[in-house]
Structure 1
Amino acid sequence: MALALVTGAARGIGRATAARLVSAGYEVIVADLDGAAAETTASEIGAKAAQVDVADEASVAAVAAGISDLAVLVNNAGMYLPGKLADVTTEHFHKVFDVNVLGPLLMTRHLADALAANGGGAVVNVASMSAFMPVPGTGVYSMAKAAVASYTEAAALEYAPRGIRVNAVAPGRISTEMTADRQGDPAREARTNALIPLGRSGLAEDVAEAICALATGAAYVTGQVLRVDGGLTINTVPLLQAAQSGGI
């Protein structure tokens, strides 16, 4: 049975992805900073659990040391700290960049041999639509996710000779535990969903499907960032047209 490892998999998009990979027949490692939550999720979906701090190289190395053959790596673990750029501290910057950018770099580097063991594997990083559409008030999160998109392209080139494909997904407005406090007003949600071409916010399972498609199929695809946003990031001109006509 092929092995897959998903970081930040105790909840949200990571959990949905781990569950989807289990249903596709993979043996899955649910890796998370919260070891207890990882154990709970793993027990519920029929997977294994591992505690890992993706921003700490010793922690990453310890997890990687026990893996010799890996088919899929999903770098989903993320850190979001809102705030104005003018107020961002050095500590704030490093917290966000260390998890969102250094994490995928360390995980991929330490697991590259395992991914290449049987002729190659697949890495899928989780970026964000904010990599392409910076959102005011999100601190350096947009910058970090843009770096993930750039890293994905660079890693795809460097790891291709070893048979390792590297792609990313860029989720748009997705309903998860992390966003629940910002999506609790039904009237506001209705207004927001009206701006999305597909008419609704996404679910963690929607992103999981895209991740699994890139990880388990798409054998000739690498270095791509797939937007999973219901069409939101291509809707600028229609929104401007509606605004000009008084429609919004």
Structure 2
Amino acid sequence: MTRYALVTGAGQGIGFGIAKRLTDDGYHVYTTDYDEELAKAAAQKLGGTALQLDVGNPESVKAAAAKVPELAVLVNSAGIYPWSPLLSISVEEFDRVFSINVRGNLLCMQAFHPQLAADGKGAIVNITSMSALAPAVGVGSYAASKAAAAMLIQQASIEFAPDGIRVNGVAPGSVQTEGTNRAIKEGDEPQKAPFIPLGRLAGPADMASVVSFLASDDAGYVTGQNIVVDGGFLNNTFALYRHVSQPA
């Protein structure tokens, strides 16, 4: 029996990596993106179904949900990450970050809830960020939105549990994607990074592997978690401090 998964932001980067892994796992994947051409290109590569979906637009979310009769897995991967100091960010930009990174997750969870509940053991995985756990200069609105998205996971996990739906998150560290202007092609090795304990940056496949687990029956007793996948970076901040504080 065919089971269906839907990935937002699947046109490239982490979202495409997740869509590819779920396809390899045997799901028929709805590849969705605000850019319809990216969604179609991803679907063509994976043998999935393309849908134009702008998570920041409630009507777009409703229209996409109406085209999906069955769903076992929802992955909310769409997100934006502007670099803007708090003192200079505009109200419009701040609201847009939250409309995509937080409200977009909520809208999709609401819209696809009936299909996930009907599946009997539906799974939602939302992509957050290590920035939800540690501040950095210039990404205040992004970090705040991802912290809110992480709490939304916990809240949804308790509210959706009676419907048989598990809700978890993956918090990526530094990932080589088109959005970071250092995307890796299939088969390429990620860039080395000496201050990450595992010695390298991540590729989309590293995130996709954890999403695959959280979507699977092997994670059938896991809900409300936000798993950090950063190669140990957040645990290594003292070593980085020692390096930068040493005299030249």
TM-score normalized by structure 2? 0.92
Output the CA distance in 1 between the equivalents of 2:47 and 2:153: 30
SS in 1 for 2:6: strand
Q: Tell me the alpha carbon deviations over residues 133-190 of structure 1, each in whole angstroms, 9 at most, x when there is no partner.
A: 111112400000111111000010110010000000000011001001699xxxxx98
Task: Give runs of ≥4 in structure 1 deviating > 4 Å.
Answer: 241-244
1:168 counterpart SS class: strand
**Partner of residue 187, structure 2:** none
Match of 1:186 in 2: none
Secondary structure at the counterpart of residue 120 of structure 1? coil
Alignment-derived partner of residue 3 in structure 2? 2
Alpha-carbon displacement from aligned partner over 1:72-123 (angstroms, at most 9, x marks no partner): 0000000111111001111101111101000110000011010010213000
| Alignment pair present for 1:123 and 2:149 | no
CA distance in 1, matches of 2:3, 2:60: 23
1:88–1:139 CA contact under 8 A, matched in 2: no
**Match of 1:160?**
161
| Counterpart code for 1:45 | L
Structure 2 unmatched runs, 5+: 185-189
Given that 1:104 and 1:125 are in contact with CA atoms closer than 8 Å, whether structure 2 keeps it comes out as yes
| Counterpart residue number, 1:169 | 170
Matched residues, number: 241
Q: Which SS does the other structure have where 2:181 is aligned? A: helix
For the aligned residues, what is the CA RMSD? Answer: 2.0
1:144 aligned partner: 145
What is the SS of the residue equivalent to 1:194? coil
Contact 1:81–1:139 (CA under 8 A) maintained in structure 2: no
Deviation at 1:242, TM superposition (A): 5.0
CA distance in 2, matches of 1:129, 1:199: 17
In the other structure, the counterpart of 2:237 is 236
Any gaps of 5 or more consecutive residues in structure 1?
184-188
Residue 8 of structure 1 aligns to a residue whose secondary structure is: coil
Alpha-carbon contact 1:68-1:117 (below 8 Å) kept: no
Where 2:170 maps in the other structure, the secondary structure is: strand
2:11 aligned counterpart, secondary structure: coil
SS at match of 1:85: coil
Q: Shift of residue 247 of structure 1?
A: 9.0
Alpha-carbon shift at residue 126 of structure 1 (Å): 0.4
Counterparts in 2 of 1:36 and 1:196: CA distance versus 1, 3 Å = same
